[in-house]
Chain A
């Protein structure tokens, strides 16, 4: 009796060891463009090959490995399509073929972004709350931003010297939020320049930015009633090429010697070439970018630098509009929230609890 039982147990163990499974399932909470493949084979397997067979399409080998157990995500598929997979397992003196099928399905929510959505909603709610509070007359304290306060000084200096102001709206196209932020600053700067009757030069790298910058400056001159002083030729296209653009601006700085240079927007490797040339001409320089790698260059070479968030806050700060200033308070709430999350996250990690981290990491991925 005991012998039979042992034999039975041994055969169950062997069959469990030898169980070969292969499955294909639609990846959950995605845009219906991937399928998850999982396999579990006997440890004696020598080689595993998985391929996709789909209608008349040629067979495509997706995985070749020696792992007895594993998973693979087949990406870049068409949504709402059925896909057929074949796994070929090669053993010492035998081979095995397993098949699986799955249909891709579009989901209505990216579950991995839930944490991100919650954070975004909290931040938006805070910004809207502070905007509403400002609308109802509540006044907020906004810290001084030296780089923006110096704008008057820079324009005043250019006016005194009778020299132009150079404004570079970054080297990215209009689809970059930094360029949009730069154009909002340009609007305020052009207004001041129009009031002081100081020439403003705006070289642009992209035609879309050129069109927007022209409109922004023109409207600013109209707003202060100085359309006669507006010079459309001072806002011009240079070139799409990164270093060609820099060479052009360097030439303008050396030949026309602007009294004030503004570098606002997205900058890359050319940031130091621009700012050092401006420094050599003796101009008062203000820069602003959210590119963390370029900030040290601007900090060293410019008189004032708007760091990251300050670039986006500039327009609200300069407008003195209570509603826009209220939105800046929302940013502060966001910072507080992030600080709290970091502190709580560190404490939880020390305690060995990773749920918060996983939730946030899931949100980012």
Chain B
């Protein structure tokens, strides 16, 4: 029963959702929106599991003074602080248990939760995202090292696109006559992005789509069970 019930529900729900893609009539559309609502409710309850896991893991490391326990303490304090401030004074338009804290707002300019969100969380998040620029540079350097025919082609294509997307490209080949405009760097870059690049991406998307159909069918028919924990 423990393994059959999930398979049964997966089959029923899978078939209903599949049918609703093609049948616009009620009750199919209502059932699908109800199922989506159920998912949201379950997700809401599952958040609690996540918080418990977070507290348990960090507490364990702090209590046993495992390696780098200080980081876990910092994480736990940050979590507790944001949670407390959010509960006590709310955020944005939503009041907390103690109301809107006009006194603190007059001092900080906004609610404590929003103050920390804007001045600590957002800069930290942006800092991590900005690392991407450096990672792209180092990854591109490795990708463009000439090793064989493929990496040669990759490098040539990349150079055309990079030059074509900057003002240097316009400067370098701007003098070309009208009948040779195809070889103008920005036009070449556009051609590469619009045709070979799009064609390759579409091929990947089509094959991924086929994979999704096959995978979904295996799950609906109960052939694929490893996502439930047990293999076939």
Report the separation of the CA atoms of residues A188 and B229 in the bound assembly, to the nearest whole angstrom: 10
Q: Please, which residues of chain A bring their CB within 8 A of the CB of B56?
A: 233
Interface of B is mostly: helix
Q: From A218, which residue of chain B is reached at the shortest CB distance?
A: B229
For chain B, the bracket of interface size reads 35 or more
CB contacts (< 8 Å) of A247 on chain B: these are 124, 128
Instruction: State whether B131 touches A273 (Cβ < 8 A).
Output: yes
Contact A319 B231 (CB under 8 A): yes
Residue of B at shortest CB range from A342?
B206
A86 contacts the other chain (Cβ, under 8 Å)? no
By a CB distance below 8 angstroms, the chain B residues around A120 are 213
CB < 8 Å: which of A173, A212, A236 contacts B57?
Answer: A236
> When A207-B46, A223-B231, A273-B131 are in contact, do A316 and B218 touch as well, CB less than 8 Å?
yes
The 0/1 profile, CB within 8 Å of A marked 1, for residues 179-223 of chain B is: 000000000000000000000010011111011111111110101
Contact A184 B224 (CB under 8 A): yes
Complex partner residue of A117 from B22, B54, B215, CB under 8 angstroms = B22
Distance of A324 Cα from B225 Cα, bound (Å): 11
Q: Do A330 and B49 have beta carbons less than 8 Å apart? A: no
- Given the known interface contacts A272-B132, A313-B211, the answer about A187 and B25 at a Cβ–Cβ threshold of 8 Å is no
Cβ of A328 under 8 Å from chain B = yes
Q: For the complex, what is the distance from the CA of A300 to the CA of B137, rounded to whole Å?
A: 12
Assuming the A-B contacts A219-B229, A273-B132, are A311 and B213 also in contact, with contact meaning beta carbons closer than 8 angstroms in the complex?
no
Residues on A with C-beta less than 8 A from B223 are 131, 323-324, 327
B136 at the interface (CB under 8 A from A): yes
CB-CB under 8 A for A31 and B226, given A207-B49, A237-B49: no
Within 8 Å of chain A (Cβ to Cβ): is B4?
A: no
From residue B170, how far is it (CB to closest CB) to chain A in Å? 26
A236–B54 touching, CB < 8 Å: yes
Listed stretches B85-93, B96-104, B138-146; interface member:
B138-146
Whether A334 touches B24, Cβ cut-off 8 Å, given contacts A184-B226, A273-B132, is: no
User: Which of A9-17, A91-99, A102-110 touches B?
Assistant: A102-110
Determine if A300 and B132 form an interchain contact, defined as CB atoms under 8 angstroms apart. Answer: no
Closest to B26 in A: A106
A308 close to B (CB within 8 Å): yes
Q: Given the known inter-chain contacts A292-B204, A327-B217, please indicate yes or no for A31 contacting B24, CB distance below 8 A.
A: yes
Determine if A335 is an interface residue (Cβ-Cβ < 8 Å): yes
CA distance A221 to B108 in the complex (A): 52
Q: Is B43 an interface residue (CB 8 A)?
A: yes
Contact residues in A for B131 (Cβ distance below 8 Å) = 273
> Which residue of B25, B68, B131, B229 has the most chain A CB atoms within 10 A of its CB atom?
B229
Contacts of B227 on A, CB cut-off 8 Å? 180, 183-184, 187, 212, 216
Chain A residues with CB under 8 Å of B142's CB are 300-301
Near B by CB (< 8 A), chain A positions 292-330 give 292-293, 295, 297, 300-301, 307-313, 315-316, 319, 321, 323-324, 327-328, 330
Contacts of A319 in B (CB 8 A): 226, 231-232
A108-B23, A237-B53 known; A309+B210 contact, CB < 8 A: yes
Closest to A250 in B: B128
> Which of A18-26, A36-44, A154-162, A238-246 has 4 or more CB atoms under 8 Å from chain B?
A238-246
Given known A-B contacts A110-B22, A218-B229, A208 and B42 have beta carbons under 8 A apart: yes
Among B49, B54, B210, which residue has the most Cβ atoms of chain A within 10 A?
B210
Knowing A215-B229, A255-B68, A269-B132, the reply to whether A327 touches B22 (Cβ < 8 A) is no
Chain A residue numbers with a CB within 8 Å of B228 are 215-216, 219
Q: Which of B67, B135, B212, B218 contacts A327 (CB 8 A)?
A: B218
- For residue B18, which residue of chain A has the nearest CB? A120
Whether A272 and B136, one on each chain, are in contact in the complex, defined by CB atoms closer than 8 angstroms, is yes
Known: A181-B215, A187-B229, A243-B129. A309 touches B139 (CB 8 A): no
Cα separation A135 to B138 with both chains bound (whole Å): 49
Residues of B within 8 A of A237 (CB): 49-51, 53-54
The interface residues of chain A lying within 8 Å CB-to-CB of B53 are 207, 210, 236-237
> Does A30 count as interface, using CB distance less than 8 angstroms?
yes
Known contacts: A319-B232, A321-B232. The answer to whether A290 contacts B211 by CB under 8 A is yes
Give CA–CA (A278, B128) in the complex, Å: 16
Contact, CB under 8 Å: A327 / B201: no
Please indicate the chain B residues that have their CB under 8 angstroms from the CB of A108 in the complex: 23-25
Assess the A308–B224 pair: CB atoms within 8 A: no
Query: Which residues on A sit within 8 Å (CB–CB) of B128?
Result: 243, 246-247, 273
Instruction: Name the residue on B nearest A233 (C-beta).
Output: B57
B217 and A272 contacting across the interface, CB-CB below 8 Å: no
Does the CB pair B135–A276 fall under 8 Å? Answer: yes
* Pairs A–B under 8 Å by Cβ, sample size 16: A29-B24, A110-B24, A113-B22, A117-B22, A131-B221, A131-B223, A175-B39, A177-B216, A181-B215, A207-B48, A207-B53, A219-B228, A300-B139, A301-B142, A308-B205, A315-B215
> 4 shortest A-B CB distances, which residue pairs?
A312-B211, A219-B229, A31-B24, A207-B50
Besides the known contacts A216-B226, A241-B125, A312-B208, 6 further A-B residue pairs in the complex with CB atoms under 8 A apart: A124-B213, A131-B223, A210-B50, A211-B49, A223-B231, A237-B53
Residues of B within 8 A of A (CB): 21-26, 29, 39, 42-43, 46-51, 53-54, 56-57, 60, 67-68, 71, 124-125, 128-129, 131-132, 135-136, 138-140, 142-143, 201, 204-208, 210-219, 221, 223-224, 226-232
